[in-house]
Amino acid sequence: MRDYDAATAFLGQWGRFQRLVFFLLSASTIPNGFNGMSAVFLAGTPEHHCAVPPGANLSAEWLNASIPLETQGGQAAPSHCRRYRLAALRNFSALGLRPGSDVELSSLEQEPCLDGWEYSRDVYHSTIVTEVWQEEHPFLDHGCADWLQLPADLLYQLGDVHGALRHSGDGTDLKLRGSLHTGIIPESPRWLISQGRYKEAEAIIRRAAKINGVPVPAVLFDTTEMQDSKPEQQQKAILLDLFRTRNIATITIMSLLLWFFTSVGYFGLSLSTPNWHGNAYINCFLSAVIEVPAYVIAWLLLRSLPRRYSLSGTFFLGGGVVLFIQLVPADFYVLSIGLVMLGKFGITAAFSMLYVYNVELYPTLVRNMAVGATSTASRLGSIIAPYFVYLGAYDRFLPYILMGSLTVLIGILTLFLPESYGNPLPESFEQMLKVKCFRNEQQATGIRKSKESPKILATPL
């Protein structure tokens, strides 16, 4: 079908059918939020220190002094990873010596947590770290419990990768995690037409017209035109089609980078909420609430402004304010959290606009595949995000510096992508827009070839 938009214009832009599909699709994403952000609490690492076994035979004084103090966040706190050597403490306790007065603690030999850890129950009653990971992997008891949250986070993030990889080459049926049956939400007629499944597409369009209460033309599709375009429409796309020309390959690579680094920033800020000052539950709630105005702003920007500038502006906002966090004094907790919230606002708005923008760049034949490929890149970014969060163990500003810098970088990268605002969705590879740096070259090539051969009207991508 060469002009799908014109053939289905009688349906209208925002009828009851379109609203029904929109709200059902929106409802299907609600469980994803619970699944994705539950890792903040279920995989959290509570305050902890090395456990001292009950049979250690230590006096109360030596039991309280068995954990060395170290500087954490500018304050002295019990070590998470080390304890004083129990054999020495046992001898001091048996001799009746007192810690600090009779024995200088700083001179004592230390050892790792050979008997596991004791966890605080003030914030979390139990998590994967306290109940599952440590129990199933006792060989890690010789390390530090801080590092156990990293594999716990990774297990959560890996859960979405299989689905993204599965859909990257399959666009046949709509599968929703929200348990909505595919009979309620139909397949895209545009995609069905690209696969030569005209009867199914026509049935969906007629059903949509019935729901919208509009008359349907006696003939929806021209049989002759369908037969002419059938060999072209029924061609099967493969993943390599996303790299078939330099222009398409550039768009694909840039899109993969955009999704990857946007996901790093989004999930990095989301998973770091327990590390902010104050109550972890309140911080996570604020981090979620800030997404509501971000989505509203993204919707307004998509309706009225060019895609590239909207995306670039929100990236610059999100990355810029995150970079400024390192300049805030340590005592200004409210200002730091406010900047993080503003950064989350910008990255969330950009993330939501990427879905629309990415769809508008690719033709119907590979649109589902392109969305699947970029979604896979996004899942890989979510896997990497916990590593960025844990860089705070070396410097508390390092995660924000890296996430802010990468977000600003992709904001610059976005400016080189083609502008899709106000343009119809491409139906073929020849209709794809040009990357900004290729535009003049492609136009010059087309003019040169048209002079050499008058029969060539345009240069294929």
Task: Tell me the pLDDT tens digit for each residue of 298-337.
Answer: 999 998 899 999 999 999 999 999 998 888 887 788 888 8
Do 346 and 266 form a contact (C-beta atoms < 8 A)?
no
Sequence-distant (≥ 6) Cβ neighbours of residue 110 within 8 angstroms: 68, 82, 83, 84, 85
- pLDDT exceeds cutoff 90 at 116: no
pLDDT at 153: 52
Range of the domain at 377: 235-461
Cβ within 8 Å of residue 114, ≥6 positions away? 50, 141, 142
Strands 69-72 and 117-119, sheet pairing: unpaired
Per-residue pLDDT, 181? 46
101: DSSP letter: T
pLDDT of residue 148: 54
Confidence of residue 228 (pLDDT cuts 50, 70, 90): low
Structural domain count, the chain: 1
Q: Are 341 and 427 in contact (CB under 8 A)?
A: no
For residue 375, with 0-12 CB atoms within 10 Å meaning exposed, 13-18 middle and 19 or more buried, which class applies? buried
Question: Other CB atoms closer than 10 Å to residue 304's CB: what's the count?
Answer: 9
Most confident of 61-70, 155-164, 384-393, 448-457: 61-70
More confident: 412 or 221: 412
Residue type, 339: L
pLDDT at position 437: 62
Measured torsion, CA atoms of residues 301, 304, 309, 310, in degrees rounded to the nearest 10: 0
Give pLDDT, residue 443: 39
Kindly provide the b/e burial profile for residues 17-26, where b requires at least 16 CB atoms within 10 angstroms of the residue's own CB: beeebeeeee
Q: Is the pLDDT of residue 160 over 80?
A: no
Q: Does the pLDDT at position 451 exceed 70?
A: no
> Model confidence at 293, in pLDDT bands (50, 70, 90)?
very high
Does residue 315 lie in a domain region?
yes
pLDDT at 346: 93
3 state SS of 110? strand
Residue 272 belongs to a domain: yes
Residue at 204 is within a domain: no
pLDDT digits (tens, 9 = 90+) for 234-285: 556 677 888 888 888 899 999 999 999 999 999 888 888 877 877 888 888 8
The per-residue pLDDT for range 413-446, each reduced to its tens digit, is 999 989 888 888 887 788 888 887 655 444 333 3
| pLDDT above 50 for 150 | yes
DSSP secondary structure letters along 132-151 = IIHHH-GGGGGS-GGGGHHH
| pLDDT in the model for residue 124 | 82
Please tell me the distance from the alpha carbon of residue 247 to that of residue 107, in angstroms, as a whole number. 66
What are the backbone dihedrals phi and psi of residue 331, each rounded to the nearest 5 degrees, phi first? -80, -15
DSSP letters along 221-250, please?
A: S-HHHHHHHHHHHTPPP-GGGGGSSHHHHH
> pTM of the prediction?
0.68
Q: Is residue 146 part of a domain?
A: no
Residue 144's pLDDT band (cuts 50, 70, 90)? low
83-92, 140-149, 218-227, range with the lowest pLDDT: 140-149
- Per-residue pLDDT at 5: 74
pLDDT, residue 11, reads 83
Across 111-125, 150-164, 165-179, 241-255, which has the greatest mean pLDDT? Answer: 241-255
pLDDT at 347: 93
Which comes out higher in pLDDT, residue 13 or 164? 13
Give domain status of residue 47, yes or no. no
CA–CA dist 75, 66 (Å, integer): 19
CA 122, distance to chain mean position in Å, is 30
Residue with the larger pLDDT of the pair 184 and 447: 184
In this prediction, residue 372 carries a pLDDT of: 86
Round to whole Å and give the CA distance between 106 and 206: 81
Q: Is 254 contained in some domain?
A: yes
Q: Average model confidence (pLDDT) for the chain? A: 77
Structural domain includes residue 32: no
In 3D, which of 195, 246, 223 has the Cα closest to residue 427? 195
| Residue 134 one-letter amino acid | Q
pLDDT band at 3 (very low <50, low <70, confident <90, very high): low
The reported pLDDT for the residue numbered 410 is 93
Taking the C-alpha atoms of residue 406 and residue 404, their distance in angstroms, rounded to an integer, is 6
Query: Does the pLDDT at position 1 exceed 90?
Result: no
Q: Alpha-carbon distance 36 to 169, whole Å?
A: 24
pLDDT tier, 72 (very low <50, low <70, confident <90, very high otherwise): low
Q: Which amino acid is at 78?
A: P
CATH number at residue 387: 1.20.1250.20
Q: Is residue 332 part of a domain?
A: yes
What CA–CA distances, in Å, run from 451 to 69, 444, 448, 460? 80, 11, 5, 16
Q: For residues 301 and 404, is the Cβ–Cβ distance under 8 A?
A: no
pLDDT digits (tens, 9 = 90+) for 358-415: 888 888 778 888 888 888 898 888 888 888 887 877 788 888 899 999 999 999 999 9
